[in-house]
Structure 1
Amino acid sequence: MTVSVNKKWLMPLIAIAGLLVMIAAMAGLFNHKITPEVLLPKTEFSGDTYSVTFQPVAEPENVPATIIAQQNTLVSSRILAPISDLKVRAGQIVRQGEILMTLDDNELQTQVAQAQAQLAVVNTQLTQAHLQLTRAMKLQAEGLIAVNDLDEARTAFDQLSASKTRAEQGLAQAKVMLSYSQIVSPIDGKVVDRMAEPGDVVSPGQVLLSIYNPASMQIEASVREQKAVQLDIGQTLDVEVASIGLMTTATIAEIVPVADSSARSFLVKLDISQDRRLMPGMYSKVKLPAQREQQLVIPSSLVIPYGQLEMVQVVNNGLLERRYIRTGQSVDNQHVVVISGLAVGDLIARQ
């Protein structure tokens, strides 16, 4: 029994030991170590050097932005009725006042006809009452009827006059309700989307179409507060819309005077010239004015590529040594900004 248990654990232990030996070999534990000084020996240097200094460098900043439509509207129904005709589709250009869709108006037409008939009846009655009032005034002047009879005729005429006013108001209201059966575009623009189809029953307030005006495009950008406070209304900035290959300018129209406390930025809106390719929601970039800041700059010719790394040869106490650096943006195609690896006063060998 004991022999069987020992054999059971022996093979896993051997496998683990072999794996550890393999890892150690791959790590180079069994290889002869060569010191860095042997690979990269320091040598004496007495040639020309370049002294690292701060230089003013303009740093442009591109801010992500979004194309928006300044004039954007939702078209909704004002009555409860089924859609009988839908004349537009997404992407179609429409004009202000153009009929977009028609709702079933049979019931509304009936209401208008009833209001017209009611007004006609009241007009007939009012005409008769006016004749009676005129006759009563003449008879009362001749002393043939009492004053009370004249008052009754005048009261009847006044009541019918009020009825006519109410009937006219009812007819006007019925016509207004009938006009709601034809839904028209409130602006010149392009249809973004339609949310209903012919045959659908729509209710008051239900959104049916979305329209924006392509001639009123703007750009919205969140600009960090250090940069935003340096911008002015009317200032022109360069803009890029990469998806359509557009490079143009835009004018600052508005700077919202309240900062976003979470992002420490201000919302800036810019007017952009009309281009039929621009659509709301497109990604764009706004180039902010460059500011000159002091940066470590060295000639690009002194940077030595080393695989995916970069290095320079620094002269330290008369000895030449290699030092890895990290570079940033290019300056005038002849110099480069050094982000790390060097300090002011370091001497770089010109060789």
Structure 2
Amino acid sequence: MHANFMKFSENYFGALSMSQAPKVTAALSLMKWLLAIVMTGVVTVLLLFLAGVFHSKVPSEVGATTPRSAEGLKSGAARLLKRPRYETATGTVKPVHESAVAAKLLAKVLEINAIAGQVVQKDQVLVKLDDADLQARLKQAEAGLTSAQVRSEQTKTEFGRAEQLKAKKAISQADFDTAQAAMKSAAAELERATQAVMESQVMLEYATIRSPMSGTIIDKRVEVGDTVSPGQILLTLFDPTHMQMVASVRESLAMKLKPGQLLPTRLDALDFDCEATISEVVPESDVASRSFTVKVTGPCPPGVYSGMFGRLMVPLDEEEVLVIPVAAVRKVGQLTMVDVVSDNSLSRRNVRLGRTLELDVEVLAGLVEGELVVVE
């Protein structure tokens, strides 16, 4: 609108004579100022309207609240509660008894009777290795033992004959000594052959690997067809009925712990709490963390596995906590409030809460000891 007006004015006054140009310029300037004042006034009135200047005010009586009476309502006092204070030490669940089953031979794997997670019994066959060469060695040792037995019987007979001839003075002392030495040599050879057979049997037993204890397989590192060497770990198993938690406790607290002491423990994954017994405090501090390793044992719930996360509660001094009944807390949107009783009237107050302690809740701010709150 302003642009159209200015264009009209310029066209209109442009037709005037050059002698009237100063008057035209003054008139245009005056019109611009008048238009700016009018627009400013319109904007000001609009802002005042939006601000509610032209609306009637709400009477003060409407916003007034009548104090509520506390008569007939159940109330409870904010009180100080003494409770033990703990420091949490993180730990890991580990088996008390864990065994790594290793090979004692250089041989090929023929059979595996175990998988991860399988429950096995003591002396159960887990792995079978190729024992063809061991069987051949055992047969050779048995043949050698048979030969040694025959030789031993022969020399015994010859020695007995030599004794009879010596009694009759029919042989020389040298011949007698020769017969005696032959008998002793045959006896030694028999003993060597016997031990060789036993050694071959033991080596043959190494080809059949059995479980050293009852437990659960947690790791299988070989497959059928693999060639294993002496000392190579094939399987790992543990006893799930005897577990322990291993935690790192800082020096100042670890020095106060003793084997046999009971400590609260928790397994977060199983939502399980129990009292565990300290089985061992390792008498060596970790250089990096300045902490001691503490081992505790306790009842094992179903579903606990090696490597699970746990918490060990190390006791400290007692602490005082201000608490109120949980039933006294009111939720108003995102606010936490309580109704405070004062002079038989109620007033709503914001509070800041902490831990939930069974039927009570900790109050961090908003109340003092002895104040009454309504409990519903």
Secondary structure in structure 2 of the residue aligned to 1:285? strand
Secondary structure in structure 2 of the residue aligned to 1:257? strand
Query: Contact conserved, 1:97 with 1:187, CA < 8 A, in 2?
Result: yes
Task: Give the structure 2 partner of residue 207 of structure 1.
Answer: 233
Residue 205 of structure 1 aligns with an amino acid whose one-letter code is: G
Task: Give the structure 2 partner of residue 75 of structure 1.
Answer: 101
Task: Give the structure 1 partner of residue 208 of structure 2.
Answer: 182
Structure 1 residue 260 displacement after superposition: 2.7
Equivalent residue runs for 1:319-330 within 5 Å? none
Residue 165 of structure 1 aligns with an amino acid whose one-letter code is: E
Structure 1 residue 259 displacement after superposition: 2.9
Task: Give the structure 1 partner of residue 259 of structure 2.
Answer: 233
Equivalent residue runs for 1:97-246 within 5 Å? 97-246=123-272
State the identity %.
33
Task: Give the structure 1 partner of residue 277 of structure 2.
Answer: 251
TM-score of the superposition, structure 1-length normalised?
A: 0.68
**For residues 187 and 84 of structure 2, what CA distance do their matches in structure 1 show?**
82
After superposition, the C-alpha distances for 1:188-232 in whole angstroms (9 at most, x for unaligned) are: 211111111111111101100001111210011112234333433
2:316 is aligned with 1:283? no
More divergent stretch after superposition (105-114 vs 165-174): 165-174
Number of residue pairs matched by the alignment: 278
Structure 1 residue 122 displacement after superposition: 1.4
**Cα distance, 1:264–1:337 mapped onto 2, change above 3 Å:** farther
TM-score of the superposition, structure 2-length normalised?
A: 0.64
Structure 1 residue 299 displacement after superposition: 8.6
Query: Contact conserved, 1:252 with 1:270, CA < 8 A, in 2?
Result: yes
Secondary structure in structure 2 of the residue aligned to 1:244? coil
Secondary structure in structure 1 of the residue aligned to 2:188? helix
**Cα distance, 1:56–1:261 mapped onto 2, change above 3 Å:** farther
**For residues 298 and 172 of structure 1, what CA distance do their matches in structure 2 show?**
76
Structure 1 residue 308 displacement after superposition: 8.8
**For residues 274 and 230 of structure 1, what CA distance do their matches in structure 2 show?**
26
Query: Contact conserved, 1:105 with 1:178, CA < 8 A, in 2?
Result: yes
**For residues 224 and 236 of structure 2, what CA distance do their matches in structure 1 show?**
17
Residue 289 of structure 1 aligns with an amino acid whose one-letter code is: P
**For residues 196 and 361 of structure 2, what CA distance do their matches in structure 1 show?**
83
Residue 253 of structure 1 aligns with an amino acid whose one-letter code is: S
Task: Give the structure 2 partner of residue 18 of structure 1.
Answer: none
**For residues 128 and 250 of structure 1, what CA distance do their matches in structure 2 show?**
70
2:364 is aligned with 1:337? yes
Query: Contact conserved, 2:84 with 2:315, CA < 8 A, in 1?
Result: no
Structure 1 residue 144 displacement after superposition: 2.0
**Cα distance, 1:293–1:242 mapped onto 2, change above 3 Å:** closer
Residue 110 of structure 1 aligns with an amino acid whose one-letter code is: A
**For residues 238 and 97 of structure 1, what CA distance do their matches in structure 2 show?**
37
**For residues 139 and 158 of structure 2, what CA distance do their matches in structure 1 show?**
29
**Cα distance, 1:119–1:326 mapped onto 2, change above 3 Å:** same
After superposition, the C-alpha distances for 1:271-325 in whole angstroms (9 at most, x for unaligned) are: 0213331110001122333532478x6999xxxx9x9999xxxxxxxxxxxxxx9
**For residues 55 and 272 of structure 1, what CA distance do their matches in structure 2 show?**
29
Structure 1 residue 258 displacement after superposition: 2.7
Q: Which of the residues 118, 128, 146 maps onto 1:92?
A: 118
Gaps of 5+ in 1: 1-53, 311-324, 339-351
Q: Rg larger in 1 or in 2?
A: 2
**For residues 335 and 173 of structure 1, what CA distance do their matches in structure 2 show?**
72
Residue 105 of structure 1 aligns with an amino acid whose one-letter code is: D
**For residues 136 and 298 of structure 1, what CA distance do their matches in structure 2 show?**
106
Query: Contact conserved, 1:65 with 1:220, CA < 8 A, in 2?
Result: yes
**Cα distance, 1:195–1:138 mapped onto 2, change above 3 Å:** same
**Cα distance, 1:127–1:198 mapped onto 2, change above 3 Å:** same
Secondary structure in structure 2 of the residue aligned to 1:227? helix
Query: Contact conserved, 2:354 with 2:361, CA < 8 A, in 1?
Result: no
**For residues 361 and 175 of structure 2, what CA distance do their matches in structure 1 show?**
112
**Cα distance, 1:259–1:138 mapped onto 2, change above 3 Å:** same
| RMSD, matched Cα | 3.6
**For residues 183 and 324 of structure 2, what CA distance do their matches in structure 1 show?**
103
**Cα distance, 1:134–1:299 mapped onto 2, change above 3 Å:** closer
**For residues 362 and 297 of structure 2, what CA distance do their matches in structure 1 show?**
37
**For residues 91 and 314 of structure 2, what CA distance do their matches in structure 1 show?**
12
**Cα distance, 1:58–1:117 mapped onto 2, change above 3 Å:** closer
Residue 336 of structure 1 aligns with an amino acid whose one-letter code is: V
